[in-house]
Amino acid sequence: MARRSKPSPKAPTRTFPLSNLPPELQFRVMANLDPKTLYNLVDINRRTKDLYLAYPEMVLRSVASQEGLQLRNLTLACLEILQAVRRETPLDLKHLDQYLSRTLDTENPGSILPCDTNPIAVLKDLQILHTDVKDLVEEYSKEIHHRACLFDNPGAVEPNFVLSTFERHRISRACWMLRFYGLLFYEYLAKFILLIEDFEPALGEGPGFPASVFFHRLCPSEVDEMLSVYQYTVRECRYVSSTAQHNSPCPGTNDSHWIRGSREPLGCQNCHFMTKNALWDVLRQNIVGDGLWALEERTVKSPSKIWTDWPSSNVPNPGWTFFNEARKHHNIERFIFISYFRNIGFFFWDQERLDAWHFIDFEGWEPTNVIRVRPDGLPNHNKDQHEVARGTEQKILEWSRANEQGPLPL
C-alpha cells in the first residue's frame, strides 16, 4: 500500500476569497451581505472581523438599508429596543408618539452603536432579528401561496413560487411591524416594569395605552396587513420572537399553568407576557371594534410618512383596494373575510399575480358566490377557518365528490 506523503510546510495554503480583495472592495461586499452571512464571516475570518471592527457603524447602516428606508428604520428600531433590554438601559418613552415618529419616520437615523457597546454583540442581535423576520416571511408567504393555489385550481400541481420585489417588501414590512410591536410592548415593558416601579405610569393610563399610539399612526391597509400575519402566527402557534423567553420560572407569575394554554405568538413561550398591551386586545378596543379589519374612521387616511425611495409602499396594494370596495358595497360575513381575503394573503399579492389567478372582478363579484365548502380540505386549526371556491369550480368539486354520472356541470 503506497504511503501518502505529507504536504510540504512551504506549500501554499488556500485563503478565504474575500481576504484577497482590496479593503475597499471587501467593505463593499460586506455592506451588501445579509446580517447572518456577515456575522458568520466575521466569526470565522480574522481579516473580515478586523475590517468590521474598524467601521462597524458604516457596515451596520449599509446592511440595514438594503430593503429601503422604511424597513431600515423598523430594523434599527427593533435593534435599539433589543439592545436596551440586553443592557438594562431604559429608553426615553415619556412621549411615545414623539419616540415613534423619531425612530420610524426619520430619513437620517442616529447612531446605531451606543457608547461602550460591543460591535460584534450588536451584529449578532441584528442577525437574530433579521433571521426571525426572514423565516416568518418565507413561512407565511408559502402558506398563503399554497392556500391561494388551492382556491384558484384545487388539485393542480402548484407552480414554482418566487415572491416579487413588491410582494416581499410588503410582507416584510408587516412582519417587521409585528416584530417591533412585540419587542416594545411585550419584551421591553415586561423587562422594565419588573425593574422600575414608576415606569408604567410614565407611559400613560387608560385602556390599550400605550400600544394604541402605535396603531393610530397606521392607515387601514397597514393595520390589515399586519393583522393578517398576526392571525397566521396565532393559527399556527408560531412564535415571532426567538428572544422573548424568560428563564424558568417566569418572573411575576407564581403559577402560569393556565396561561400556557393561550396562543400569544409575541410573548414568552412560557408565560406569554400577559400584558395589557396584548395586540388583539388593543386592536379590538381601538381599531377594529367588533369586526376583523381596521375601521377607516378609527385610523389615519394615509401613512404617517411618504417614502420616496419605495413609492409603491405608500399606497394600498390592489387586493386591499378591491376588498375595501367590496366592503363598502356588500355585507362581507366573517367567514368570507377569513377564507377569501385573509387566509389566501389577498392584501399582499401584486397586480400580475392577482390577474393570473382572476381573483379581482368588481363586476362579477358577489358575497353570495363565495360560499363555504371543503370542510375536509386543509387542516382546520380553528373554528373560523373555512375554505371557499367559486362558481363553476365549486360545481365541479360537488360533482366529483358525489361520484355522479353524466356530463360535467359546466
Q: Compute the half-sphere exposure of residue 99: CA atoms within 13 Å on the CB side of its CA.
A: 17
Distance CA 59, CA 308 (A): 23
- Return the closest-CA partner of residue 368 out of 343, 342, 391: 391
Output the pLDDT for position 238. Answer: 83
C-alpha grid cell for residue 41? 464571516
Evaluated on CA atoms 350, 172, 178, 238, the torsion sign reads positive
Q: How far is CA 274 from CA 24, 250, 263, in A?
A: 49, 11, 11
Distance of alpha carbon 139 from alpha carbon 171, whole angstroms = 11
**DSSP per residue, 74-91:** HHHHHHHHHHHHHHT---
pTM over 0.85: no
Per domain, the residue ranges of the chain are: 55-402
**Would you list the DSSP string of 120-155?**
HHHHHHHHHHHHHHHHHHHHHHHHHHHHHHHHHSTT
Nearest to residue 78, comparing CAs of 28, 133, 115? Answer: 133
pLDDT of residue 272: 53
The torsion region of residue 239 among left (phi > 0), alpha (psi -120 to 50) and beta comes to beta
How far is residue 201's CA from residue 198's CA, in Å, rounded to a whole number?
A: 6
Instruction: Give the pLDDT score at 22.
Output: 83
Say whether the peptide bond before residue 114 is cis (omega within 30 degrees of 0). no
- Any residues with CB less than 8 A from the CB of 155 and at least 6 apart, and which? none
- Sign of dihedral through CA atoms 260, 262, 268, 274? negative
Residues 6+ apart with CB under 8 A from 191: 85, 88
The Cβ of residue 17 has, within 10 Å, a number of other Cβ atoms equal to 8
- pLDDT for res 388: 42
Map residue 376 onto helix, strand or coil. coil
Half-sphere CA count of 80, side-chain side, radius 13 A = 24
Average pLDDT, consecutive stretches of 10 residues, N- to C-terminus, the chain (410 residues) = 57 63 86 94 90 93 94 96 90 87 92 87 95 96 94 85 95 97 86 52 47 90 96 87 61 42 67 65 85 90 91 92 87 86 94 87 49 38 39 48 47
Q: Say how far residue 390 (Cα) sits from the centre of its chain.
A: 30
pLDDT of residue 361: 61
State the cell numbers at 218: 397606521
374: CB partners within 8 A, 6+ apart:
154, 387, 389, 397
For position 27, what pLDDT does the model report?
86
Of the candidates 68, 145, 179, 157, the residue with the CA atom closest to the CA atom of residue 350: 145
For residue 340, give the nearest of 283, 284, 402, 293 by alpha carbon. 293
